[in-house]
């Protein structure tokens, strides 16, 4: 097989989930040595398509050909045997097993003699994979449980690479990586291309996609609506194809100067959490969006948690000036009218198997309480309906369970349930992680509205463009300390920020 020949051909593929036509007559090819991007709004069928290639679902009609041979995998194991590996959008490591063993999950037979697994060999092989592909080595003997999202993602990546894949499928993995590891991943993709291997990438970040891929396939409502050559296309063209109309205007802020009121809402003094952050002090004003950015180990995410009272401070204080109260626990923070939207939506914020109503009402229970602690079902329903309507959440009803909603709708609920309240302080940790451009623009508009209403926002993000686009002032962090503070009307550019980050 030479470069330029098709490694995978998909023809007339259809997939149904009950009444839902998730993939409609998909025709699509990947060449050897090609880096292909797959993009579309939430619910456009990207993950469904990639899951069929990876053998997680079986297709209902159509055909797939791999290297000229018919290809119909029954399981991810079948796919692995054909040298196709996938890294999933949601986390797939076993917490109770060491990182090294996770790399060879389900494939430890090769290290097995007389029924015993030679763990030494497993660890050695795992180590080799991390070095070979230049991935940051996690502590291989440690349990994966408690490791950072990012580290676990790397373990999954190592697992995929351990089968020496001809075709690597990456489903939205950059969203959980910070800048430095993203660069590593780009390097890795380039290396695979150099070796004549193919990669299929799904991401919501249009600019990123154009930069790293050769060609891009756009999906809408389950069908392919366009193909583009990454060198010639523009982000606008891709976005237009995705939504089927042109996006109007810029979705970030357009003003170039900080714009907030004098009144201080939050004062943080010498805040320290052992091993995470040190000497963090800042003030947050009424109507201000204060951005936090830094590399993965810079402690930006710990700042959000600590301000909301979720970490034990070894020194310093957090004072909600608007309520005239020092806050030490999340319970106190909630009572003052603060909100915290954590980074990992499904595992830290939402109750996935509970209903839309249960999720929306959770932060508002104290306000909804009547006499004798009575929570009137009518009141809960009214609040839920109001939220669902206001944020145009697509759901079949207030009692639908969350897991049936798309990522964008889940995030709307995750954010909207807080905005339903009389809020003073909003802490957002990567609020647009894993949502498509439409929802992203919507979330930014909500942030602008919150700003106008005087809500003080703490915006923590791995996406530099996002903080630059939205913040009045920007705190750059490195090794747990604030290294630089930049105002919107100063040197507010990526270069100046990156300089302080590394």
Distance CA 301, CA 306 (A): 9
Q: Residues 57 to 76: which contact another protein by CB under 8 A? A: 76
Question: Is 47 a residue that touches another protein (CB under 8 A)?
Answer: yes
Q: Which residues are paired to 318 by β-bridges?
A: 268
Question: Is 243 a residue that touches another protein (CB under 8 A)?
Answer: no
Distance CA 283, CA 102 (A): 43
Q: Residues 105 to 134: which contact another protein by CB under 8 A? A: 105-106
Question: Is 316 a residue that touches another protein (CB under 8 A)?
Answer: no
Cα torsion 105, 110, 114, 120 to 10°: value is: -70
Q: How far is the CB of 248 from another protein (least distance, A)?
A: 26
Distance CA 353, CA 19 (A): 22
Q: How far is the CB of 393 from another protein (least distance, A)?
A: 10
Question: Is 17 a residue that touches another protein (CB under 8 A)?
Answer: yes
Beta strands in 353-405 (DSSP E): none
Cα separation values, 185 from 110, 136, 180, Å: 28, 11, 9
x-or-dash string of contact with another protein, 373-412, rule CB under 8 A: xxxxx-------x--x-----xxxxxxxx-xxxxx-x---
SS3 track for 414-461: HHHHHHCCCCCEEEEECCCCCCCHHHHHHHHHHHHHHHHCCCEEEEEC
Q: How far is the CB of 14 from another protein (least distance, A)?
A: 13
Q: Residues 200 to 239: which contact another protein by CB under 8 A? A: 222
Question: Is 52 a residue that touches another protein (CB under 8 A)?
Answer: no
For another protein, which residue of 42, 151, 181, 432 counts as binding (CB under 8 A)?
Answer: 42
Q: How far is the CB of 6 from another protein (least distance, A)?
A: 26
For another protein, which residue of 3, 90, 449, 479 counts as binding (CB under 8 A)?
Answer: 90
Q: Residues 321 to 380: which contact another protein by CB under 8 A? A: 329-335, 340, 342, 346-355, 358, 361-363, 365-366, 369, 373-377
- The nearer residue to another protein, 99 or 474, going by C-beta atoms, is 99
Q: How far apart are the first and last CA of the chain?
A: 43
- The nearer residue to another protein, 33 or 408, going by C-beta atoms, is 408
- CB burial of 61-78 (b: ≥16 within 10 Å; e: otherwise) equals ebebbbbeeebebeebee
x-or-dash string of contact with another protein, 452-491, rule CB under 8 A: ----------------------------------------
Decide if 416 contacts 387 (C-beta within 8 A): yes
Q: How far is the CB of 391 from another protein (least distance, A)?
A: 14
């Amino acid at each position: 097989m030479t470069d330029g020949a098709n490694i995978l051909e998909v023809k007339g593929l259809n997939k149904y989930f009950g009444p839902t036509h998730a993939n409609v007559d998909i025709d699509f090819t990947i060449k050897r040595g090609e880096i292909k991007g797959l993009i579309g709004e939430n619910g456009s069928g990207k993950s469904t398509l990639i899951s069929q290639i990876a053998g997680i679902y079986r297709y209902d009609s159509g055909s797939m050909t791999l290297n000229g041979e018919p290809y119909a995998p029954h399981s991810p194991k079948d796919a692995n045997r054909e040298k196709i590996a996938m890294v999933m959008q949601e986390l797939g490591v076993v917490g109770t097993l060491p990182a090294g063993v996770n790399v060879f999950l389900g494939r430890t037979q090769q290290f097995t003699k007389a029924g015993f697994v030679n763990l030494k060999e497993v660890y050695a092989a795992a180590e080799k994979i991390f070095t070979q592909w230049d991935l940051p080595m996690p502590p291989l003997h440690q349990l994966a449980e408690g490791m950072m999202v990012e580290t676990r993602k790397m373990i999954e990546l190592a697992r995929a690479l351990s089968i020496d894949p001809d075709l690597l499928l990456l489903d939205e993995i950059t969203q959980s990586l910070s800048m430095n590891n993203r660069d590593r991943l780009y390097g890795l993709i380039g290396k695979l291309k150099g070796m004549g291997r193919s990669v299929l990438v799904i991401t919501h970040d249009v600019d990123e996609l154009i930069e790293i891929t050769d060609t891009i396939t756009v999906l809408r409502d389950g069908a392919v609506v366009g193909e583009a050559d990454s060198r010639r296309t523009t982000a606008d063209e891709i976005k237009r194809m995705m939504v089927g109309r042109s996006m109007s205007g810029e979705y970030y802020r357009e003003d170039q100067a900080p714009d907030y009121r004098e009144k201080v809402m939050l004062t943080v003094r010498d805040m320290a959490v052992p091993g995470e952050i040190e000497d963090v002090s800042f003030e947050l004003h009424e109507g201000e969006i204060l951005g936090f950015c830094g590399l993965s180990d810079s402690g930006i995410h710990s700042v959000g948690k600590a301000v909301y009272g979720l970490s034990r401070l070894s020194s310093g204080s957090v004072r909600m000036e608007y309520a005239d109260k020092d806050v030490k626990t999340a319970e106190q923070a909630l009572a003052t009218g603060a909100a915290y939207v954590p980074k990992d939506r499904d595992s830290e914020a939402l109750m996935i198997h509970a209903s839309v109503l249960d999720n929306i009402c959770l932060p508002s229970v104290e306000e909804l309480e009547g006499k004798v602690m009575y929570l009137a079902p009518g009141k809960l329903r009214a609040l839920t309906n109001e939220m669902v309507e206001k944020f145009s959440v697509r759901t079949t009803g207030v009692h639908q369970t969350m897991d049936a909603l798309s990522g964008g709708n889940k995030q709307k609920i995750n954010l909207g349930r807080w905005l339903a309240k009389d809020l003073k302080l909003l802490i957002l940790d990567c609020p647009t992680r894993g949502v498509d451009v439409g929802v992203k623009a919507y979330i930014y508009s909500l942030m602008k509205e919150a700003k106008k209403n005087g809500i003080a926002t703490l915006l923590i993000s791995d996406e530099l463009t996002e903080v630059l686009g939205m913040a009045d002032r920007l705190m750059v962090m490195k090794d747990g300390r604030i290294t630089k503070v930049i105002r919107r009307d100063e040197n507010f550019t990526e270069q100046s920020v990156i300089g302080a980050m590394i």
